[in-house]
Amino acid sequence: MRRYPDRVPATELAQALGLKPNTLSTYVNALMQAGLISQERVRTSLRYAIDMDAARETVDYLLHDCCRGRPEICAPNAYPASTGDSPMTDCKYNVLFICTGNSARSIFAESLLRDLAGDRFVVYSAGTKPRSELNPFALKVLERKGHDVSVLRSKNISEFQGADAPDFDFVFTVCNQAANEECPSWPGQPISAHWGLPDPVKVEGSDAERSLAFHQTYGALRNRMTGLTALPIASLDRMSLQKAVDEIGQSNEEGPSQ
C-alpha cells in the first residue's frame, strides 16, 4: 500500500516485512485469492501491487457492516472531518519530501518546487536516516541550475513530528526504502504519494558517469514538480487529487538537460 501504484518485487516485500520467502508466498497467495493484490512477472522477478478498488471495498465493508456505518465506533480518530470529498482550499500548501539520506533526491525536490512555485508551496525535505552532509554531486547540479543551496541542510524526519511542526497538505516519498519503512502518522491526513526514483548516490563509475546520474534524477524530479504545479489543486476533490499525484509518480522520463 505504501508503494502504490508501484509493483514491488517479492524479495523487497519479504525484506520490508521481515518475512521468510516461504511465509511471504503463503500470505501473497491468500491475498491474491481474495482479489486484494495482483501478481506480474517481470523477467525472473515476481512483482505485486495492491488492487485499490478491492481494498476500498474491504474498508467500506468494515465501516458499514462491522461499524454499523459509524466510524467513531471503530476508531475515534481515523476519520476526521477534513478527509471528505471537498476540494482543498486555495492557499499556500505545505509539502514534505522524504527519502532515506536526505542528501540528493529529496533535496532536489525541495529546491525545485520552492523555485518553481514558492508563492504557492512551502517546501520541506527530510530523511529517515539522514546523512551528515549533502551529496557534493547533488550540490553541484543545484548550483549549475541556479538554485540557492545555502538554505539546504540534511534533516531527520523527527524535526517534523513535534507539536510545533507544520501541518502538511502533501507528503511524498522519493525513494523506495523510505516508502517501505514504518510511516509516521501525519496530522490532518495529508495527500501522500510515492514518487520513487533510483538513488544516484549509489551509481558507480567515473565522475562524469556519476554526474550524469544526478542530472537525470534532477530532470525526472523537475518533470514531476512541473506536473504538480500544473494541477488545479483548489478545484479538485480529494480522490481526484490523489489520483493525479499518483499518476505523476508513474512518470519516469528524464527532464530537459539544459
d(CA 233, CA 227): 11
- Domain spans of the chain, in order of start: 8-79, 93-249
Task: Say yes or no to pLDDT of 95 above 90.
Answer: yes
CA angle 116, 218, 171 (to 5 degrees): 65
Report which of residues 1 and 223 the model is more confident about.
223
Predicted confidence at residue 210, as pLDDT, reads: 95
pTM of the model: 0.72
- CATH fold match for the domains 8-79 and 93-249: no
What class has domain 8-79? mainly alpha
Q: Which among 66, 67, 74, 183 is annotated as catalytic?
A: 183
User: Order of strands, edge to edge, in the sheet holding 93-99?
Assistant: 121-127, 93-99, 170-173, 191-194
183 is catalytic: yes
Task: Say yes or no to pLDDT of 255 above 50.
Answer: no
- Residue 188 — left, alpha, or beta (φ > 0 → left; ψ -120 to 50 → alpha)? left
The DSSP bridge partners found for residue 49 are 38
Report which of residues 34 and 72 the model is more confident about.
34
Angle, in degrees to the nearest 10, between helices 207-230 and 136-144:
60
> Cβ distance 93 to 233 under 8 Å?
yes
d(CA 152, CA 246): 27
Predicted confidence at residue 61, as pLDDT, reads: 77
Distance of CA 32 to the CA centre of its chain: 25
Mean pLDDT of the region 8-27? 88
Task: Say yes or no to pLDDT of 41 above 50.
Answer: yes
Q: Which among 66, 67, 91, 99 is annotated as catalytic?
A: 99
d(CA 176, CA 72): 33
Contacts of 52 by beta carbon, 8 Å cutoff, 6+ apart: 4, 5
Q: Which among 66, 67, 91, 175 is annotated as catalytic?
A: 175
Task: Say yes or no to pLDDT of 81 above 60.
Answer: no
> Cβ distance 254 to 220 under 8 Å?
yes
d(CA 200, CA 215): 9
Predicted confidence at residue 89, as pLDDT, reads: 57
Lowest mean pLDDT among 58-62, 120-124, 197-201, 213-217: 58-62
Residue 179 CB burial class (10 angstroms; 0-12, 13-18, ≥19): buried
Per-residue burial over 148-167, b if 16 or more Cβ lie within 10 Å, else e, is eeeebebbebeebeeeeeee
**pLDDT tens-digit map of 122-158:** 999 999 999 889 999 999 999 999 999 999 999 999 9
Task: Say yes or no to pLDDT of 88 above 70.
Answer: no
Structure confidence at residue 252 as a pLDDT band (50, 70, 90): low
**pLDDT tens-digit map of 184-199:** 678 878 999 999 999 9
66 is catalytic: no
Predicted confidence at residue 17, as pLDDT, reads: 86
Instruction: Indicate the average pLDDT of the chain.
Output: 86
175 is catalytic: yes
Place of cell 471528505: 84
Task: Say yes or no to pLDDT of 79 above 50.
Answer: no
Predicted confidence at residue 78, as pLDDT, reads: 41
What's the CATH code, domain 93-249? 3.40.50.2300
DSSP code of residue 160: G
Three-state secondary-structure class, residue 47: strand
Task: Say yes or no to pLDDT of 71 above 50.
Answer: yes
Task: Say yes or no to pLDDT of 60 above 60.
Answer: yes
d(CA 37, CA 244): 21
